[in-house]
């Protein structure tokens, strides 16, 4: 494999496109795409796939899969979008993974739009992971137009990764098997960091039903859902084990109708992370058992959800792919370093299907999910080339389903 020849062709093609990359990034950062705002997320998917269609890709808004009976809200999430160089039934080949949703509610983009000051770009989702989407688009188009790659390419755009890809994972399960490799362009770490392992995640939704009554006149006639959910929250928190890499966090809680009424309802959302699938399964089982135990007579509870994104664990094929990333980085003058990342991504899902996977290949940034989130604009072209050179090597090293 002549990496130097490939690099020279990519240099000539991609170097003049930095301005185009940043303009597309500005456009999509200034589009709100909060996970639960399906219309906004789908509008972003349309922009991305229209761009790829103009580049000669076949594009698809994938049909929604059936939502679980205990989580019907999944039906209201956005669609998975897909683009392919070959027919829909062709092997997936090299898969470029990315998610369209952000954690920032509608109106955030207008309040603090895309901005570049020096070598720092800001705006909602600029690093996580709209810059990664741009890098995937330009890398795939470069490989196609230069005629360098000899197998199919598939680009996947998920609408709900920030919730653990509950609906997207069902579509990915249909598309990813047999892929030669998966490149996930979550934000790269400053200084050439990419990710070779990540924790898994889970999301659970707890509902408690109580009985309303006047809190002053007939308190004993009621059954407080808020008191019950408080007991359950404390019981759930006992599964926290930082030394083991287990986090269990009740991040949202609500309930009741007024201060002088015994609360007839309460609900909470729980997020968990874990290093191994076995640990994740044990925690979910433990949480379900804790929820089944009633403390306040007259209340009842139900819990839905569970494990979402599986952990991205080290394996021989993944390490082999990481070696290809290092080779590409060396040629590009980048000192690539592998890291473990203490949160989940769709890299864990592709890896769990036996697909050689690498994560955090996108342009470099930090402080994601916060007002201080930023991207290093000067990294966007280099990371785009890193993705392209890795995809080229992987297309020749790995065979379908192996």
pLDDT in tens, 236-258: 999 999 999 999 999 999 999 99
Q: What is the mean pLDDT of residues 10-39?
A: 98
Which pLDDT does position 1 carry in this prediction?
A: 60
pLDDT tier at 311, thresholds 50, 70, 90? very high
CA distance 102 to 161: 8
CA distance 215 to 259: 8
Which pLDDT does position 225 carry in this prediction?
A: 98
Domains 3-199+312-397 and 200-309 share a fold: no
CA distance 51 to 57: 9
pLDDT in tens, 157-189: 999 999 999 999 999 999 999 999 999 999 999
Q: What is the mean pLDDT of residues 230-241?
A: 98
Which pLDDT does position 87 carry in this prediction?
A: 85
The answer, yes or no, to whether residue 379 has pLDDT greater than 90, is yes
Fold classified for 200-309: Alpha-Beta Plaits (3.30.70)
**What are the φ and ψ backbone dihedral angles of 200, each rounded to 5 degrees?**
-95, 170
CA distance 243 to 285: 20
Peptide bond just before 170 cis, omega within 30 deg: no
The reply to whether the predicted model has a pTM over 0.85 is yes
Q: What is the mean pLDDT of residues 118-142?
A: 98
* Residue among 250, 269, 258 at smallest CA distance from 222: 258
Q: What is the mean pLDDT of residues 319-323?
A: 98
Residue in 26, 161, 228, 279 annotated catalytic: 161
User: For the chain, which residues make up each domain, given as ranges?
Assistant: 3-199+312-397, 200-309
Continuous H helices in 81-183: 108-111, 131-146, 168-175
Instruction: Write out the E strands in 230-378.
Output: 247-255, 265-274, 300-307, 337-341, 357-358, 362-366, 374-375
- Domain 3-199+312-397 CATH (choose: 3.40.30.10, 3.80.10.10, 3.40.630.10, 3.40.5.10): 3.40.630.10
Cβ–Cβ < 8 Å for 154, 82:
yes
Is residue 42 flagged as an active site residue?
no
Q: What is the DSSP letter of 126?
A: I
Is residue 101 flagged as an active site residue?
yes
Residue in 32, 101, 128, 160 annotated catalytic: 101
Return the SS3 of 152: coil
Q: What is the mean pLDDT of residues 382-396?
A: 97
């Amino acid at each position: 494999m002549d990496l130097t020849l490939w690099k020279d062709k990519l240099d000539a093609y991609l170097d003049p496109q930095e301005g185009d990359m940043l303009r597309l990034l500005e456009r999509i950062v200034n589009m709100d795409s909060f996970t639960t705002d399906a219309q906004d997320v789908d509008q972003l998917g349309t922009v991305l796939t229209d761009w790829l269609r103009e580049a000669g890709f076949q594009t698809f808004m994938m049909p929604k899969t059936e939502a679980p009976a205990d989580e019907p809200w999944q039906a209201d999430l956005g669609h998975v979008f897909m683009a392919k160089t070959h027919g829909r039934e062709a092997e997936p080949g090299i898969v470029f993974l990315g998610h369209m949703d952000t954690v920032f509610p509608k109106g955030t983009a207008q309040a603090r739009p895309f901005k570049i000051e020096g070598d720092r770009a800001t705006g909602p989702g600029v690093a996580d992971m709209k810059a990664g989407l741009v890098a995937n688009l330009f890398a795939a188009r470069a490989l196609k137009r230069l005629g360098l790659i000899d197998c199919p390419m598939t680009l996947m755009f998920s609408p709900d990764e920030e919730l653990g890809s509950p609906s997207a994972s069902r579509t990915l399960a249909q598309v990813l098997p047999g892929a030669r490799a998966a490149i996930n362009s979550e934000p790269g770490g400053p200084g050439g960091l990419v990710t070779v392992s990540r924790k898994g995640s889970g999301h659970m939704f707890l509902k408690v039903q109580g009985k309303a009554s006047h809190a002053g006149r007939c308190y004993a006639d009621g059954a407080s859902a808020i008191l019950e959910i408080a007991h359950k929250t404390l019981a759930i928190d006992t599964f926290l084990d930082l030394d083991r890499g287990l986090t269990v966090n009740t991040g949202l809680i609500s309930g009741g109708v007024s201060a002088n009424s015994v609360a007839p309802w309460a609900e909470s959302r729980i997020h968990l992370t874990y290093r191994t699938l076995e640990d994740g399964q044990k925690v979910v089982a433990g949480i379900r058992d804790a929820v089944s135990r009633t403390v306040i007579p007259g209340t009842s509870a139900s819990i839905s959800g569970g494990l979402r994104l599986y952990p991205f664990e080290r394996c021989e094929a993944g390490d082999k792919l990481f070696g290809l990333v290092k080779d590409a980085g060396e040629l590009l003058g980048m000192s690539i370093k592998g890291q473990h990342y203490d949160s989940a991504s769709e890299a864990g899902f592709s890896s769990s299907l036996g697909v050689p996977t690498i994560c955090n290949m996108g342009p470099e940034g930090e402080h994601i999910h916060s007002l201080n989130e930023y991207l290093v604009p000067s990294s966007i072209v280099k990371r785009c080339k890193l993705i392209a050179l890795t995809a080229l090597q992987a297309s020749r090293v790995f065979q379908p389903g192996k």
